[in-house]
Structure 1
Amino acid sequence: MKYLGLLAIWALSADIYALENEIERLYKANNVEGAILIESADGKLKYQYNVNNKESFIPASTFKIPNTLIILEEGLIKDSSEVIAWDGVEREYAPWNKDQTLKTAFKYSCVWCYQRYAKKVGDLKYHKYLKDFDYGNQLTGREITRFWLDGDLRVSVKDQISFLRKLYVENLPIQKQHIKTLKNIMLSESNSQIKIWSKTGWSGKDGWYVGYLVINNQTWFFANHIEIKQSSDLALRKKLTLEAFRILNIVQ
């Protein structure tokens, strides 16, 4: 029996290794430098490519996931539909140049919206939340309105999934109603086959697509970081993630 158990473990390991090789070929075929981690909810299955736990990156707009919770917990905005008044400043991205709600600010990665609230949260409270969340290296920097864009905050691919797991089971020092509000905002795709809760991010060379999906009553967490060399690479954040799920035969 012991021999059969070892044989089963070896077979599973060999299968995972073969699938991870296919994911590696996917990234190389698209000339992408990156790392991806996909984990089952029970933690029994883990697929990865080029993951180095010592390597961390600027979270960019993926920080809007914990940041939204902080803004809600601090009572700076009531719910996802409260209007965030546009300041009238024309910016390079047209969807930002109008009134927003927390839902649209999250969807369109509205930088000025979150910067407005960052000033109100302040450095001391951000450090406390980052510590309580055990989020990344827990650093901010000199500019409180930009620490997730080009400041000192860094997260690894593994850090992203670690936080997503806490969010999923609602094991965070945040009121449950605020976690549910965030989850409603994060739901980016929903049909009879699949549901995806996700966020993209981009700052300089750092491109992200992180979240979790539910399909066939199974939950899978994912974090994909790629190096952005040109604007056309942005579409690869999500595209490569979903292609990896197809390689694993999780998504059709």
Structure 2
Amino acid sequence: MKKLISILLCSVFAFLLFGCTEKGIEPNSESVDYSSEFSGINGCAVFYNYNEKKYSFYNEQQCNTRYSPCSTFKIISVLEGLKNNVVTSESSTMNYNGSKYYFDTWNKNLNLKEAFQTSCVWYFRQVNDGIGQDNMKKALNELNYGNCDVSQWQGSGMNDTPDTNGFWLGSSLEISPVEMVNVIADIFEGKTDYNQEYIDILKDVMKSDVEGVYGKTGTGRDNTAWYTGFYENENGKIYFAVHLDNKTGKSITSADAKDIVNKIINNKYK
């Protein structure tokens, strides 16, 4: 009886750990060597073949480590913005306030698609504030989005102005690459309560310059970077997340993460 109780307790603990909080390595997984694609940059990659239910990991310990999502969080902001009627279409425009931002592409009125593709922080600061902290917290809990922590709503102050800071930028919210892949797969495989119309809009703004690849970049102030999304062909979708953490190496940006993903897709999945 004691042995049975111990087994049951262990089973419950495992469910709580992997089913509700951190989504660890799934049973159908493999370790792969993407060192040639990374070219000496420290980082990790997880690719998830949805049809085969198979995860491929490069540096799997890092794949299960949580980091700030940075601008990849705009994926969630788009969906929640549409759901809460803060924005209604790709052409929903926010007015530029006249400030001089670091990127010239931010220094004008922008619509949703333009803001997503130029990764404009001030635009999505307005979107997230329109959604509200309580609604966002609820959404992240439902999505199992990392630690779901939006407590530093205004951010850590890492950037110069309030409208370029937020909980998703080097602040309270963190998510691991494998959790990121699972969230994006749930969204695009119809496992969330988002309307298909919203998902279609998100897919359109995520479209990259590489055929079949949809994604969002993110760059941290501490020489870290993301690229996450999916590759779609006639056989289905391959979900991916690459995170670079090159604090002691050469300077990197999200363009490096994007380049690594495109190399992996070209070498393994095409």
TM-score > 0.5, shorter chain as reference: yes
Q: CA separation in 1, counterparts of 2:152 and 2:53?
A: 41
Could you tell me which residue of structure 2 aligns to residue 55 of structure 1? 65
Q: CA separation in 1, counterparts of 2:138 and 2:153?
A: 17
Deviations along 1:165-206, one digit per CA (max 9) or x if unpaired, are 11211221222211211111112236xxx3111000112233
Q: CA separation in 1, counterparts of 2:107 and 2:251?
A: 21
Could you tell me which residue of structure 1 aligns to residue 221 of structure 2? 204
Q: The residue matched to 1:172 in structure 2 has which SS?
A: coil
- Residues 227, 254 of structure 2: 8 Å contact kept: no
- Residues 204, 228 of structure 1: 8 Å contact kept: no
Q: CA separation in 1, counterparts of 2:231 and 2:181?
A: 12
Q: CA separation in 2, counterparts of 1:57 and 1:207?
A: 10
Q: CA separation in 2, counterparts of 1:189 and 1:167?
A: 22
Q: How does 1:21-100 map to 2 (within 5 A)?
A: 21=33, 23-27=34-38, 30-52=39-61, 54-100=64-110
| Residue 213 in structure 1 maps to residue 222 in structure 2 | no
Could you tell me which residue of structure 1 aligns to residue 157 of structure 2? none
The number of aligned residues is 227
Runs (4+) of structure 1 moved beyond 6 Å?
none
- Residues 64, 177 of structure 2: 8 Å contact kept: no
Q: CA separation in 2, counterparts of 1:186 and 1:235?
A: 15
Q: CA separation in 2, counterparts of 1:147 and 1:44?
A: 32
Could you tell me which residue of structure 1 aligns to residue 143 of structure 2? 133
TM-score (norm 1): 0.83
Q: The residue matched to 2:73 in structure 1 has which SS?
A: helix
Distance 1:199 1:227, change over 3 A: same
Distance 1:149 1:98, change over 3 A: same
Amino acid at match of 1:226: L
Q: Considering only aligned residues, what root-mean-square deviation do their CA atoms show, in Å?
A: 1.9
Q: Which runs of 5+ in 1 are unaligned?
A: 1-15
Q: CA separation in 1, counterparts of 2:152 and 2:174?
A: 15
- Residues 96, 108 of structure 1: 8 Å contact kept: yes
Deviations along 1:194-224, one digit per CA (max 9) or x if unpaired, are 3111000112233000010113433211100
Distance 1:88 1:235, change over 3 A: same
Q: Which runs of 5+ in 2 are unaligned?
A: 1-29, 155-164
Q: CA separation in 2, counterparts of 1:136 and 1:102?
A: 25
Deviations along 1:94-148, one digit per CA (max 9) or x if unpaired, are 1000110000110011000011122222221111111111111110122345100
Distance 1:39 1:124, change over 3 A: same
Displacement after TM superposition at 1:228 (Å): 4.5
Q: The residue matched to 1:201 in structure 2 has which SS?
A: strand
Percent of aligned pairs with the same residue?
Answer: 24
Could you tell me which residue of structure 1 aligns to residue 258 of structure 2? 238
Displacement after TM superposition at 1:233 (Å): 4.3
Displacement after TM superposition at 1:26 (Å): 3.5
